[in-house]
Structure formats: C-alpha cells, structure tokens
Amino acid sequence: MLQLGAHVSAAGGPPQALARGHEIGCDAIQIFTRNQRTWHAKPVTEEEAEAFRHNRNEHRIGAVMSHASYLINIASPDPENHAKSQAVLEQELTRCHQLGIELLNFHPGAHLKQGLEAGIERIAQTLNAICQAHPDKRDVTLVLENVAGQGTTVGADFAELAAIIAQLDEPDRFAVCIDTAHAFAAGYPLHTAEGWEAMWESFDEQIGLARLAAMHLNDSKPGCGSRKDRHALLGRGEIGPEAFIRAVTDPRTCSLPLLLETPAGPAGWAAELRWLRACAAGEHPELPQIDESGANL
C-alpha cells in the first residue's frame, strides 16, 4: 500500500500538521515537532499530545516521521556543542514518545576534521548513551538519514551508516531513511536503471533492506557526485523522473513512507503526490507544472 506524503508545517503546534497533510493528499507526513532553528523548545503538553492523536485518527494519516533539528551534531568534538546536541536529540525522542510519533529521523553529524573513524565512534557512543537513558521509549525508532557528503559530514556512503550501526548496543531500535537527492549527490547514480539496482544491492549488502524505514523523495539541482545538498522538484533536476517512478513501483520501496522535501510548497506537493500516484497506477502522466514556492528543507 502506498504511503505518500510530504514534510508539512507544524506552525501552531504539531496537531495542526495532520490537517495540512490531509488537505494536500498525504497518507503519511514528516514534521518538525519544535522550532528546529533554536536549542530550546516548549515541552509537549498532555492536551497537545491528545490533540495530535485525535487529529491523526480523524485525518487517517498513516506513518508519521519527525525530523530532528539541524542544529544537532552528535559527532561534534566540541564538548559544549556535543552536550547540547545530545540533550536536544533526547528531547526530540521524548517529544515523539509523548505525541505517539513512531519515527525520529536525524542526520548523523559532522566530525569537523577529527577523522571519520572518530566521528563514527562518537556518534555510536552518543546513541548508545541515549538508548541507555531512555529504555521506556522503544516505541520510537531512531532513523539515521544518509547525507550528501558535504564537508566532514558522516553518512554519505552506506558503509559509514553500517559502521555506526555495527557499534550500537541496541541496533533493533534503529533504522535508515534514504534521501534520493543526498544519495545522488554522494555518487550513487540512481537516475539510471542500472544505478538504481546497484544502489539497493549495495544497501542490502552493507545495511540490509529490513532496516530501510522510509525515503525522502527529492530531485537534485547539482549532478551526481557533487557532494552538494540542493533539492529540486521531482523530475526537474539532474535525477529526472524515472527514479521516482521506480520508487513507487519497486517492491523494495513502494510500501515505505515516501516523503517529499522538494521546494514546491503545499500546492506543489499536492501536484507531485498526484503525479506519483498516477505513476504507481501504471499511467504515464506529464510532470506537473510547479513554481518553486517553498524553502529547500
């Protein structure tokens, strides 16, 4: 069963996001549960948590994934920044637990010239500490997202994600989300049929398809291997439409939460979702005409 959606606004509080997702035709949604540009956030109230669950049921939203703050860097060698990053990721986990959100997506972090091996070790140690401190929050799966490979970020290569997972004390609490734009920028040529197959064979060999929990469907403005993270509208970037048709028809991916982060805005996401559904049904629709009206997530 298709689970198509987008990263929708939670302005006014997370419960408001469910109606916004429903309005544009989402089966699943991704949100920020807090202002991701600040270190501090108001705690979730019981009323807010109850309203979130009620609205989710009312609007028949399936999977929900929270995207953790971009400020978080649990690979940071700076003690103060690392401590703040760990604390915020723990807060994000608690917020998801309170709201009943089952997936918490986050970027692994950047080692800041301390070396890839040291960065991977620091990420794994931090995640182990978080799991140890929160044994009651196993209802929330912690989802590592692949990255484009800019700077000293960790997780562009599937082997780097596998190395983190190999050092986890409770690997069953973790999964992976693949962002198509990030994978393409990292050098996976998923725009071709051969490259698509090779990417998933590599993922299965190094991580295992059973650990794939979701995908971000984004085209890419820069080319393959650019190491630059700049999203484009579906089919309008260097990836092109065929990879996204494969995403909604390939048995390995079509039943996952497939979430848009394209710079389309709500009306544009609605059009992209309609296009994806038509592709999944075996139709061959033209790409929707959309003006880029939203910020690149």
Do the Cβ atoms of 239 and 219 come closer than 8 Å?
Answer: yes
* Residue 82 a catalytic site member: no
The residue from 97, 191, 216, 246 that is catalytic is: 216
CA–CA separation, 182 vs 187, rounded Å?
9
For residue 231, which of 280, 180, 195, 175 has the smallest C-alpha distance? 180
Distance in angstroms (rounded) separating the CA atoms of residues 156 and 16? 33
Q: Pick the catalytic residue: 50, 60, 70, 291?
A: 70
Which residue of the set 97, 122, 173, 182 is catalytic? 182
Question: Of the listed 107, 122, 236, 246, which one is catalytic?
Answer: 107
90 as an active site residue: the answer is no
Which of 67, 111, 122, 236 is catalytic? The answer is: 67
**Whole-number Å distance between alpha carbons of 272 and 25:** 10
22 annotated active-site: no
48, 92, 219, 261: the catalytic one is: 261
What residues form DSSP beta bridges with 220?
Answer: 231
Is 182 in the active site?
A: yes
Instruction: Answer yes or no: 272 catalytic.
Output: no
59: annotated active-site residue: no
**Cα first-last separation, the chain:** 26
Q: How far apart are CA 22 and CA 255, in angstroms?
A: 19
- Residues forming a β-bridge with 97: none
Choosing from 27, 48, 92, 145, the catalytic residue is 145
Residue type, 153: T
Query: Quick check: is 261 catalytic?
Result: yes
Catalytic residue among 160, 179, 219, 272: 179
Which of 56, 97, 231, 246 is catalytic? The answer is: 231
Cα angle: 200, vertex 252, 280; to 5 degrees: 120
> Is residue 27 among the annotated active site residues?
no
Determine whether 211 is an active site residue. no
The single residue of 122, 229, 236, 246 carrying the catalytic annotation is 229
What would the DSSP string read from start to end of 159-191? HHHHHHHHT-S-GGGEEEEEEHHHHHHTT--TT
Q: Please identify every residue annotated as catalytic.
A: 37, 67, 70, 107, 145, 179, 182, 216, 229, 231, 261
